[in-house]
Amino acid sequence: MSKIDRPLSPHVEIYKWPFPAILSISHRATGAGLALGAILVTVWLFAALSGDDAFALVQRFRESIIGRLMLFGWLFAFVYHLLNGVRHMRWDAGYGFDLKSTYRSGWIMVCGTVIISVLTWIIVR
Amino acid sequence: MTEKTHSFRTDLNRARGIGSAKDGVGHWSKLRIAAIPMVPLFIYFLTQIDHLTTRNRAAFVEWLQEPVPAIAVILFIVCAFFHGSLGVEEIIIDYVPNEKYKIISLIVNKMFFLGLGFASIYAVLAISFGKI
Ligand code: HEM
Residue-range domain boundaries for chain A: 20-124
Name the pLDDT band for B84 (thresholds 50, 70, 90).
very high
Task: Note whether B123 contacts A: Cβ–Cβ < 8 A.
Answer: yes
**Closest Cα in chain A to B58:** A52
The structural domain count of chain B equals: 1
Q: Do B123 and A78 touch (CB under 8 A)?
A: no
Report if residue B58 sits inside a domain: yes
What kind of architecture, by CATH, is found in domain A20-124? Up-down Bundle (1.20)
- Please provide residue B53's backbone torsions phi and psi, each rounded to the nearest 5 degrees: -105, 10
Report which of A23, A121, A19 is spatially closest to residue A80, judged by C-alpha positions.
Answer: A23
- B11 within domain boundaries: no
List Cα–Cα distances, A49 to A41, A62, A66, A74, B45, in angstroms.
Answer: 12, 17, 24, 23, 20
pTM, full prediction: 0.88
CA triplet A90, A105, B46: central angle to 5 degrees? 75
At residue B128, does pLDDT exceed 80?
A: yes
Would you put residue A22 in left (φ > 0), alpha (ψ -120 to 50) or beta?
alpha
B53 vs A: CB within 8 A: yes
Does residue A53 carry a pLDDT above 60? Answer: yes
Chain A residue with CA closest to B49: the answer is A124
Assess if residue B15 is contained within a domain.
no
ipTM of the complex: 0.88
Contact A42/B124, CB-based, under 8 Å? no
B7 inside domain = no
Q: What is the CATH classification number for the domain harbouring B49? A: 1.20.1300.10
Q: Assess if residue B5 is contained within a domain.
A: no
**What backbone torsions phi and psi does residue B13 show, to the nearest 5 degrees?**
-65, -35
Cβ pairs bridging A and B (under 8 Å): 71
Q: B6-61, pLDDT tens digit by residue?
A: 778 888 888 777 766 566 678 899 999 999 999 999 999 999 999 998 999 999 99
What CA–CA distance (Å, rounded) separates B7 from A104?
A: 51
- Owning domain of residue B52: 23-128
Least-confidence region, from B5-14, B92-101, B105-114, B116-125: B5-14
Per-residue DSSP letters for B37-101? Answer: THHHHHHHHHHTHHHHT-S-HHHHHHHHTSHHHHHHHHHHHHHHHHHHHHHHHHHHHHH--SHHH
Q: Flag whether pLDDT at A121 surpasses 70.
A: yes
